[in-house]
Structures are given as structure tokens and as C-alpha cells.
Copies of this chain bind each other. A is one copy, B any other.
Amino acid sequence: MTRKELIHQIFSKQSFLCVGLDTDIKKIPQHLLTEDDPMFSFNKQIIDATAPYCVAYKPNLAFYESLGVKGIQAFEHTVNYLKKYYPTHFIIADAKRGDIGNTSAMYARTFFEEYDVDSLTVAPYMGEDSIKPFLGYDGHWVILLALTSNKGSQDFQLTADDNGERLFERVLRISQQWGNDENMMYVVGATQGRMFEDIRRMAPTHFLLVPGVGAQGGSLQEVCRYGMTEECGLLVNSSRGIIYAGNDENFAEVAAQKAKELQAEMAQELKKYCKA
């Protein structure tokens, strides 16, 4: 999906919500466990119920890999279902990959040719040749970790060099030599508050994927105050707060209700900060 199409989806739906499919076989409602592919059955119902309120889905690979072959099948079924029935929803494979060039090229082929998802999260530690193989695919995106939502983000990402540039700022600056706002986004945690101002100084137009609203405690309003651009520029993710809001036969309705509430808040924020 191109940047233009993504922005169009956001303004027509009045939502920049990404629903995180952190589908944990131990947490899904019991009655699904008798199905052939319980993870996919869960995802399918979540997707059907929440699609009107979100613009993106983000399956987290850790949860699928944990079931080995069955989990990978559930991931494939989920991606195929989205591509067939919801082709205007943006798909993020949350895998946090990144390796030497020939290995990153292999991951790029897997995710952008075989699965053909729109985007993949990638860790920047290994530098240029670990990122570039993902940038050669039109309409496909690298989502690079910049300033993450977790406590451990303080261990390395905030370390300043002798010019006062912090590691996440260096990642933002250097990576813009490799890609642009048509093929690269950044992960910035909702828990980072006013740090979004610093991010926007260095990446004024890039989309940011923002996890950490909900279970992790970030504030949607604060993220928008400091991080939103005229073209929105945000995909805000909620996983556990939506998909596990209910835990019995009506789980999908409860998830839809949560997604709808977030969408309504998002519409308010778009009205405040965006012209379109």
C-alpha cells in the first residue's frame, strides 16, 4: 500500500487504529479450542468485527511461532484472509527482524514476496546492509525500531554520543539516508510522551507506528498532541486492550466496541490537528 492510499484510508475511516493480533492460544476463549485452527478462527472473528474501525492489522510473529507449524499456518491463513476480504487494510508483520545483508534479503523475500504483507518491523542494530534489502519493494515498508515503549528502551536508545545525539536520533538521521517517508516508518512507543516532539524535529513527515496505548499505559491524546502531522502520520496500535477485552462467546462484539471507542477518540484528534 502506498503512502497516499494509507492516508486516504485514514481520513475516509476517521481512524488511524492498528489492531494488534497478539493471538495467544492460552488466552483465547475456550470454545474456540475445538476448531481446526483456533488462532485463525479467533483472528477471523476479531477482524470481521473490528475492520470498520481500524486501518491496519499487526500480527505479532512471536505468538504464531510459539505453535510451530500450526502457528505459521494460522499466520498464513490470517494474512490470506486479510488480503482477500480486506485489501484496503494495511498489514504489519511484527517480527523485529534484521541480519547481515544476504539474510535480510531472505527475510524481505519471505515477507514481501511470499506473504506479500505491506510492512515488517526491523531492528536497526546491524545498520545499513541489514535494512536496505527491505527497501527495494514498491508499496512495501520497513518499520524501524526507534524509541520503543518498554522500560528497556532506556538502556541503549537514549545514550547520547559526544555531540549530544541520542542513539534513537542517530537511527532516525542515518536511516533517512537509506529510505524515505514512502517506504520507511518508525516505531515510537506511546509511553514516550513529549519525546514525540524530538522525533518530529528529525522525522517531520514519516509515519510512526505507536504501540503502548492501553495495556502499557500510553495516552492517545498526548501522542497526538506531540506526534500528529497534518497528514496524520500515526498508526496507533492496541493489542491486548481490544482483542482480550471480552473472553466468552461475545468476545468479537466486545472487541468491536473497544475499537469503536478508540476510533471515536481518534476522529476527535484528527479534527483537532489535521486539515483534510
User: A residues within 8 Å of B by Cβ?
Assistant: 22, 24, 60, 62-63, 65-66, 68-69, 72-73, 76, 96-101, 103-104, 106-107, 109-110, 114-115, 123-131, 145, 148-157, 159-162, 164, 167, 170-171, 174, 211, 216
Partner of A130, one of B110, B152, B167: B152
Residues of B within 8 A of A73 (CB): 69
Report chain B residues within 8 Å CB of A154.
Answer: 127
6 A–B contacts, CB within 8 A, in A order: A96-B123, A101-B152, A124-B156, A127-B156, A128-B152, A162-B162
Q: Which residue on B lies nearest to A70, using beta carbons? A: B69
Sorted nearest first, the 5 A-B pairs with minimum C-beta distance are A127-B152, A127-B155, A128-B152, A62-B106, A100-B150
Partner of A156, one of B22, B96, B125, B149: B125
The answer to whether A66 and B127 have CB atoms under 8 Å apart is no
Chain B positions within 8 Å of A159 at CB level: 161, 167, 170
CB distance B150 to A126 under 8 Å?
A: yes
